[in-house]
Structure 1
Amino acid sequence: MTQHYNVSGMSCGHCVASITEEVREVAGVSEVVVDLAANTVTVHGTDLDDERLRAAIVEAGYEVGEAVPA
């Protein structure tokens, strides 16, 4: 399963590390890919919970927009 999100406010390596750290703690996540240029976060895993993934990104300090179609 893969989830894609538009995320605003990312601008540097620290942003990537913060989001990656928070999202990896969500159950079922196997990989997190943060693309600064595209302002997207892609999450791979099994039984991913959209609400928990969004909460993890917000917890890292960023705004989550609409999910991007896979």
Structure 2
Amino acid sequence: MTEHYQFHLPDMSCGHCVAAITEAVQAADAAATLQFDREQRRVQIASGALDQQALAELLSEAGYPPASPASAA
């Protein structure tokens, strides 16, 4: 079952950030889909393999720690 999670990423500001985040998430779950709102610095991630905590850890490791709280969308 695919779950949708939304994260606020204060450090995300450009296309390079989007590419780095996409690469990090899809390396762990190739089927994950990501929707970005760069202006609001938010990303919505749909993943059937990763839960909210795992995604938050991946984002942090990629250099984009989510602001708390993250939410299921």
Q: TM-score, normalised by structure 1?
A: 0.82
Identity rate of aligned residues, in percent?
33
CA contact (8 A) 2:4 2:72 kept: no
C-alpha offsets along residues 4-42 of structure 1, whole Å, 9 cap, x if unaligned?
A: 011111111000000111111234852012221111111
Contact 1:22–1:60, Cα closer than 8 Å, also in 2: yes
More strand per residue? 1
Partner residue, 1:37 = 39
- Within the alignment, does 1:13 sit opposite 2:15 as a pair? yes
Q: TM-score, normalised by structure 2?
A: 0.79
CA distance in structure 2 between the aligned counterparts of 1:27 and 1:4, rounded to whole angstroms? 16
Match of 2:56 in 1: 54
| Structure 1: gaps spanning 5 or more residues | none
What amino acid does structure 2 have at the position aligned with 1:23? V
Which sections of structure 2, spanning at least 5 residues, go unmatched?
Answer: none
Q: How many residues align?
A: 70
- Do 2:12 and 2:38's aligned partners in 1 also have CA atoms closer than 8 Å? yes
Q: Is contact 2:25-2:32 (8 Å) kept?
A: no
Cα shift at 1:47: 4.7
Distance 1:32 1:50 in 2: 14
Alignment correspondent of 1:67:
70
8 Å contact from structure 1 (residues 4, 69) kept in 2: yes
